[in-house]
Structure 1
Amino acid sequence: MLQAAKSPAERIKLGRIGWSLISLGMLVAIWELASLIAASRYLPGPLEVVNVMIREAQTGELWTNISATLIRVAFSFVVAMFIGSAIGLSLGRYPGADRFFDSWLIFFLNLPALVIIVLCYIWFGLTEVAAITAVAINKIPNVAVTMREGARSLSKDLDEMAQVYRLGWWKTLRHVTIPQLAPYFAAAARSGLALVWKIVLVVEAFGRSDGVGHQLNIAFQLFDVPMILAYALAFIVVVQIIEMAILQPIMARANKWRR
């Protein structure tokens, strides 16, 4: 039987995967060559880092710390998306509120993350509440700005159509408003998660007794570069899996209604 020809989308997808593997292989080769030339314990080779990663996984420390980080990321992300979306939609729908609170958004967007983390730990103590609050506060302004633009872009013609056909508030929300806001929400979620990962690690390094950030801080104090790279690579792999398995399908579905 003749094999069916692959579609252009499938060929492009396979091509991207192939190029990604070649590119990563080249990066690993350069890393190995650099470690051989440097011959220093501060620049370990890929094999040494993988061995450390396997050892940490076998002892269970790797999974324990990654799990702790992921839980903090999840809670911070949900809080930031909920509050930030509510603020952004309110500002986008009410011009007066937008004019009044715009300077607030600018202030919090430019407030350094480190300052917020330190203040939260001072005010609330070295607790999980302080850690999650610090991460959420850093992310809420970004979500609010994105969702504000989404609220501003809502079609008045579609709203008038919904009123003419008497869809009611629930059907209007479900079939008219949410589909228009979905791409903005997905974009805020994707960019927000990328920011939350990074801030959670800083929060853990400053004031938590577990998590990837905590382990990186300990490894830094011991100048244990293989440990630093092992946890960094393991965390990157987990983030990429979440990106490809969850975020990319959500982005594709959110934009599916567009022509």
Structure 2
Amino acid sequence: MVFVHRLFPTPVMVAEEIWALASEGRLLSDLVRTLVRAMAAFALAMVLGTALGIVLGRQAFLDRLFSSWLVVGLNLPAIVVAIVLYIWLGLTETALIAGVMINKVPLVIVTIREGVRSFSAEYEELGLALRLGFRRRLATIYWPQLLPFVLAAARTGLSLIWKIVLVFEVLGSDGGVGYRVSLMFQFFDVTGILAYTAAFIIVVLAFEYGVLRPLEGRARAWRRPA
């Protein structure tokens, strides 16, 4: 005999709920809204974090000046950032995306900074000796050394953003996976919560294996022997 309770739904019940939500159109709409927010915050954080990480990695004085702030940023609770930005900017898309970005930027900065610090001085001297232009040195000396750190920052940062964006949606949003889960929580709708969670995990896995890993493989192709 199988124990069935509304608070302990079976996988079949969850699958049926996913199908019902998808048929209504709500599931797809919420997933798209969450993914757009996550991708916007991810792109902004990668651009800003990479630029600042390169600067701090090359300028020791600035690194010493802002290192304590980086520690604060790395350990600042996401919920505090969310509440403060929602108070300042209101329950807007700008506040949500900015908050998610702020939580990710310190991680990118630290990762890229360590990558810049690890640059080989011999390669840089070789480029100067061969009188390579800046663009040539960037493509053949700097970028190949920095690439593993960029990929690491992207991988760890994206895994962080997937979770943080849901927290921001729960606290204040008019749609998205986090918003829908918070509504279902109020009605103790465990089946709906698990349905949204399962659908979100499927999307994350599809993005990981369908987009991120192929891009990573192409980016690392130059390191493979001919």
Distance of 1:53 and 1:155 partners within structure 2: 52
195, 208, 222: which one aligns with 1:230 = 195
- What aligned pairs does 1:137-216 form with structure 2 within 5 A after superposition? 137-216=102-181
**Residue pairs, 1:107-146, within 5 angstroms:** 107-146=72-111
Counterpart residue number, 1:79: 44
Deviations 1:2-60 (A, max 9, x none): xxxxxxxxxxxxxxxxxxxxxxxxxxxxxxx9xx34x3211100000000000011111
Q: 1:142-190 CA distances to partner (integer Å, 9 max, x unpaired)?
A: 0001001100011111111111111100111111111111110011001
Give, in angstroms, the shift of residue 115 of structure 1.
Answer: 0.2
Structure 1 residue runs without a partner (length 5+)? 1-32
2:209 pairs with 240, 244, 250, which one? 244
- Aligned equivalent of 2:24: 59
Equivalences, count: 224
User: CA–CA distance in 1 between the matches of 2:135 and 2:179?
Assistant: 46
Q: Which has the higher contact order (CA 8 A, sep 6+)?
A: 2
8 Å contact kept, 1:186–1:250 = no
- Answer with 1 or 2: which has the greater Rg: 1
The answer (yes or no) to whether the contact 1:62–1:231 under 8 Å persists in 2 is yes
User: Once the 2 structures are TM-superposed, how far is the Cα of residue 246 of structure 1 from its aligned partner?
Assistant: 1.5
Structure 2: give runs of 5+ residues left out of the alignment.
none
Report what 1:100 is aligned to. 65
**Structure 1 Cα separation of the partners of residues 119 and 146 of structure 2:** 8
Conserved? CA contact 1:92–1:152, under 8 Å? yes
TM-score for both structures, normalised by structure 2: 0.96
The residue type equivalent to 2:115 in the other structure is G
* 1:89 aligned partner, one-letter code: I
Output the CA distance in 2 between the equivalents of 1:142 and 1:208.
25
For the residues of structure 2 that align with 1:147 and 1:202, how far apart are their CA atoms?
26
Q: Secondary structure at the match of 1:123?
A: helix
Offset at 1:258?
A: 4.0
CA distance in 1 between partners of 2:156 and 2:220 (Å): 16
Structure 2 distance, partners of 1:88, 1:113, is: 21
**TM-score, normalization by structure 1:** 0.84
State how far apart, in whole Å, the 2-side matches of 1:234 and 1:168 are.
49
Q: CA deviation at 1:199?
A: 0.5
For 1:140, give the aligned amino acid.
Answer: V
Aligned partners of 1:183 and 1:251 also within 8 Å: no
RMSD (Å) for aligned C-alpha atoms: 1.3
Identical-residue share of aligned pairs (%): 46
Q: Which amino acid aligns with 2:33?
A: A
Q: Which residue of 2 aligns with 1:50?
A: 15
**How far 1:114 moved relative to its partner?**
0.5
Letter in structure 2 aligned against 1:160:
E
